[in-house]
Chain A
Amino acid sequence: MAEPLLSVRGLEVTFGSRRHPFKAVKGASFDVYPGETFGIVGESGSGKTTIGRAIIRVYPVSAGSIRFHGEEITGRLPHAKARELTNKIQMIFQDPMASLNERAKIDYIVSEGLLGRGLGKEEIRERVSEALNAVGLLPEFATRFPHEFSGGQRQRIGIARALVMNPEFIICDEPISALDVSIRAQVLNLMSKLQRERGLTYLFISHDLSVMRFICDRIAVIHKGDIVEMAETETLFRHPLHPYTRALLSAIPQPNPHTEKNKVLEIYDPSCHHYERDVPSWQEAEDGHWLYCNQEEMKQARQRLK
């Protein structure tokens, strides 16, 4: 397999004071390979956004390492190196209503990342119009304000803002949760098109597995700061091993009134684990299918796979 583009090992992020620390992420490890879409799924408060923000260096990392192209990117970096990283790693935010500066015109919003980098006005304008074009917005929109756009168009502006930096890696933090279903499809299609054309790598963060099944190559399931399961999308959907994954899967609303009306919801109760005696660890259950479990659960999981 190719070298991973991003490699996260034992990542911990801690908030709060020294006396009352709160570990939002407790030792996450995963690799993201070039050109793939890697998904992180979990409920609110599970730490999925925190992982994204730690990668983009917004939150300081308290332990573990994050390597991008094999180079460590946590902690203090030389100014030039940090700048280069902001070019290469970009982010798309959840709420297109809240993440755009209401007082700025579109061309400024999109160009903001390019300012102060020694680029000429003409070049900036060219790159902005090229980015707008790539997301399917007309160049004349550049002189309008965000409030003149619909939700789907605003999210396109958010994507254009990320694209203008020519990134390799984009962190998408719930990019479609705030959108209407019909608009979701447009944005999802746009994202896959851009990935094909530019060879982008995505880290896709969401709570909605039905969307992830559609867009992600591999998925990691995170619960209360622990990654509990990681596998290729179809494997995960076919053989969910962790009880929390099964709960998430059972909650996906299906567009089928017959099955929906008789649906049995699985509710995950962490007390089903007996981790006091038998300490859990991160283990591979089958090829590429990882599970956070203890020895006994691993035995059961292997049984299930047979």
Chain B
Amino acid sequence: MSKNILSVRNLHVKFVLRGRELHALRGINLDVRDGESIAIVGESGSGKSVLNKNFIGLLDQNGFIPEGEIRYYGMGDKLRHYPGAGSDDNGSYIDLTAFKKKEDWLRIRGSEICMIPQDPMTSLNPLKTIGWQISEALLLHKGMRGKMAYEETIRILEDVRIDDPRRRYKQYPHELSGGMRQRVVIAIAIACSPRILICDEPTTALDVTIQAQVLSLLHDLKERYHLTIIFITHDLGVVANIADRVAVMYAGDIVELGLVDEIFFDPRHPYTWALLSSLPQLGMRGEELYAIRGTPPNLFKEVQGDAFAARNPRALEIDKRELPPYFEVSPTHYARTWLLDPRAPKMDPPAVIQKLKELGKEETHHG
């Protein structure tokens, strides 16, 4: 097993809104391994974007971290003199929650951890050519200019599979299609040669065909640049392609974490069941598609017990009172549900999940 590059320990994030406190992240624990791609899946409002904004210091002004650590191991000893520096059995780290100033963040942002925002329409500068925007990243992070920066930009444009890069270099964002623009945004991220690439729903605004191409591009780049990818999405269907591991988030907490096979073929948390069951790919025409009832809990109030219990038609009595711990399903698979407690009544997952399970068995049988 490879080493951790990022380790989130008991992270809490709160926002102050009109004098009230919103508890957006409620004690996240997550290890991200070097070179893996991990998907973070959840509905809007589950806190998946908030979690990732912490990694690059882009938390909104009214947000703060009352508790918790984010250990980043990618810098080694370089930042020894920083207040958040330390070391554990995984190596030297720097605690990103200790960063206060913008200058501190500039050491991390871009060159170490980079983010691809959701909407390529709004994240490019409409007044500059795309070549200029990519070389800017090269200048700031690698000090390249002139001919060297030009050649490097062309090479990166080729890497993100943009045809005729010398012509594209001189074009403006409005001349490109949505898929092309997303590639340019990826090119800017790659130009900084980061260790970790955070992709915040990079494909939701795109057509299905383009989405598939961008996903396969990310796959390639990951191998070529030895990237660690954190992939944020609400669509479990997309995850199967790109992820090695999947973390399912609900109401500011990770409810299930496992290898991608384990999440798809052997999910344990009722929320993961619900997410999978509501995929139209698994539905049959003429039948009702499974829909999750109700809305996510109000995070202005402290959540009692399992946050999903209120929307779970088969919740146990204890779910409403006490927060379940993480139960280990396998060394790589954890779920936060009382269903896994040995004392819990035996409950079969919904039919769709059973079907997926069968599918998984068949595959492993053949494979």
Question: Does residue A211 face the partner (Cβ distance < 8 Å to B)?
Answer: yes
Within 8 A of A (CB), among B32-54: 43-44
Question: Does residue B84 face the partner (Cβ distance < 8 Å to A)?
Answer: no
User: Is B240 in contact with A215, judged by CB distance below 8 angstroms?
Assistant: no
Within the complex, the shortest CB–CB distance from B334 to chain A, in Å, comes to 18
Within the complex, the shortest CB–CB distance from B295 to chain A, in Å, comes to 6
Question: Does residue A189 face the partner (Cβ distance < 8 Å to B)?
Answer: yes
Stretch among A259-267, A274-282, A287-295 lining the B interface: A259-267
Known A-B contacts: A253-B208, A255-B356. Give 16 more (CB < 8 A): A150-B295, A151-B44, A181-B237, A189-B288, A251-B212, A253-B238, A253-B241, A255-B236, A255-B237, A255-B264, A256-B363, A257-B240, A257-B243, A258-B367, A259-B363, A260-B241
Question: Does residue A154 face the partner (Cβ distance < 8 Å to B)?
Answer: no
Question: Does residue A207 face the partner (Cβ distance < 8 Å to B)?
Answer: yes
What mask results when residues 169 to 204 of chain B are scored 1 for a CB within 8 Å of chain A, else 0?
000000001100000000000000000000000000
B209 closest partner in A (C-beta): A251
Question: Does residue A247 face the partner (Cβ distance < 8 Å to B)?
Answer: yes
Given the known A-B contacts A182-B43, A257-B261, are A211 and B240 also in contact in the complex, defined by CB atoms under 8 Å?
no
B280 closest partner in A (C-beta): A214
Question: Does residue B290 face the partner (Cβ distance < 8 Å to A)?
Answer: yes
Question: Does residue B106 face the partner (Cβ distance < 8 Å to A)?
Answer: no
Residue B285 contacts which of A213, A248, A263 (CB distance < 8 angstroms)?
A213
Interface range on chain A (Cβ under 8 Å from partner)? 35 or more
User: Is B211 in contact with A251, judged by CB distance below 8 angstroms?
Assistant: yes
Question: Does residue B26 face the partner (Cβ distance < 8 Å to A)?
Answer: no
Residue B237 contacts which of A44, A210, A215, A233 (CB distance < 8 angstroms)?
A210
Given the known A-B contacts A43-B207, A44-B178, are A253 and B235 also in contact in the complex, defined by CB atoms under 8 Å?
yes
User: Is A180 in contact with B207, judged by CB distance below 8 angstroms?
Assistant: no
| Residues of the A chain whose Cβ atoms lie less than 8 Å from the Cβ of B260 | 257
User: Is A209 in contact with B208, judged by CB distance below 8 angstroms?
Assistant: yes
Question: Does residue B351 face the partner (Cβ distance < 8 Å to A)?
Answer: no
| Residues of the A chain whose Cβ atoms lie less than 8 Å from the Cβ of B261 | 257-258
User: Is A182 in contact with B278, judged by CB distance below 8 angstroms?
Assistant: yes
Q: Is the interface of B mostly helix, strand, loop or mixed?
A: helix
Most buried by B among A189, A192, A233, A256: A256
Within 8 A of B (CB), among A177-206: 180-186, 188-189, 192
Within the complex, the shortest CB–CB distance from A43 to chain B, in Å, comes to 5
Q: Is the interface of A mostly helix, strand, loop or mixed?
A: helix
| Residues of the B chain whose Cβ atoms lie less than 8 Å from the Cβ of A247 | 209
Residue A181 contacts which of B235, B288, B359 (CB distance < 8 angstroms)?
B235
User: Is A210 in contact with B241, judged by CB distance below 8 angstroms?
Assistant: no
Q: Can you list 5 A-B pairs with a CB-CB distance of less than 8 A?
A: A185-B278, A207-B207, A253-B237, A253-B238, A260-B240
User: Is A182 in contact with B274, judged by CB distance below 8 angstroms?
Assistant: yes
Within the complex, the shortest CB–CB distance from B164 to chain A, in Å, comes to 16
| Residues of the A chain whose Cβ atoms lie less than 8 Å from the Cβ of B216 | 265
| Residues of the B chain whose Cβ atoms lie less than 8 Å from the Cβ of A305 | none
Question: Does residue B281 face the partner (Cβ distance < 8 Å to A)?
Answer: yes
Question: Does residue A12 face the partner (Cβ distance < 8 Å to B)?
Answer: no
| Residues of the A chain whose Cβ atoms lie less than 8 Å from the Cβ of B282 | 255
Given the known A-B contacts A180-B43, A180-B44, A253-B241, are A188 and B209 also in contact in the complex, defined by CB atoms under 8 Å?
no
User: Is A256 in contact with B291, judged by CB distance below 8 angstroms?
Assistant: no
Within the complex, the shortest CB–CB distance from B300 to chain A, in Å, comes to 15
| Residues of the B chain whose Cβ atoms lie less than 8 Å from the Cβ of A261 | 240-241
| Residues of the A chain whose Cβ atoms lie less than 8 Å from the Cβ of B178 | 44
Given the complex of chains A and B, what is the CA–CA distance between A192 and B238 in angstroms?
25
Within the complex, the shortest CB–CB distance from A180 to chain B, in Å, comes to 5
Question: Does residue B213 face the partner (Cβ distance < 8 Å to A)?
Answer: yes
| Residues of the A chain whose Cβ atoms lie less than 8 Å from the Cβ of B177 | 44-45
Given the complex of chains A and B, what is the CA–CA distance between A253 and B279 in angstroms?
11
Given the known A-B contacts A150-B295, A247-B209, A267-B213, are A181 and B234 also in contact in the complex, defined by CB atoms under 8 Å?
yes
Question: Does residue A254 face the partner (Cβ distance < 8 Å to B)?
Answer: yes
Within the complex, the shortest CB–CB distance from B296 to chain A, in Å, comes to 9
A-B complex: 4 closest residue pairs judged by Cβ atoms? A185-B278, A251-B212, A185-B291, A260-B240
| Residues of the A chain whose Cβ atoms lie less than 8 Å from the Cβ of B215 | 253
Question: Does residue B289 face the partner (Cβ distance < 8 Å to A)?
Answer: yes
User: Is B288 in contact with A182, judged by CB distance below 8 angstroms?
Assistant: no
Within the complex, the shortest CB–CB distance from A164 to chain B, in Å, comes to 24
Given the complex of chains A and B, what is the CA–CA distance between A193 and B69 in angstroms?
48
User: Is A256 in contact with B208, judged by CB distance below 8 angstroms?
Assistant: no
| Residues of the A chain whose Cβ atoms lie less than 8 Å from the Cβ of B236 | 181, 255
User: Is A181 in contact with B275, judged by CB distance below 8 angstroms?
Assistant: yes
| Residues of the B chain whose Cβ atoms lie less than 8 Å from the Cβ of A210 | 208, 237, 279-281
| Residues of the A chain whose Cβ atoms lie less than 8 Å from the Cβ of B367 | 258
Question: Does residue B58 face the partner (Cβ distance < 8 Å to A)?
Answer: no
Question: Does residue A115 face the partner (Cβ distance < 8 Å to B)?
Answer: no
| Residues of the B chain whose Cβ atoms lie less than 8 Å from the Cβ of A138 | none
Within the complex, the shortest CB–CB distance from A258 to chain B, in Å, comes to 4
| Residues of the B chain whose Cβ atoms lie less than 8 Å from the Cβ of A173 | none
Given the complex of chains A and B, what is the CA–CA distance between A214 and B209 in angstroms?
19
Residue A185 contacts which of B208, B237, B289, B356 (CB distance < 8 angstroms)?
B289
Given the complex of chains A and B, what is the CA–CA distance between A247 and B207 in angstroms?
12
Given the known A-B contacts A255-B264, A255-B281, are A180 and B291 also in contact in the complex, defined by CB atoms under 8 Å?
no
A177 closest partner in B (C-beta): B204
Within the complex, the shortest CB–CB distance from A19 to chain B, in Å, comes to 22
User: Is A180 in contact with B234, judged by CB distance below 8 angstroms?
Assistant: yes
User: Is B240 in contact with A252, judged by CB distance below 8 angstroms?
Assistant: no
Question: Does residue A229 face the partner (Cβ distance < 8 Å to B)?
Answer: no
Question: Does residue B157 face the partner (Cβ distance < 8 Å to A)?
Answer: no
Question: Does residue B283 face the partner (Cβ distance < 8 Å to A)?
Answer: yes
Within the complex, the shortest CB–CB distance from A98 to chain B, in Å, comes to 14
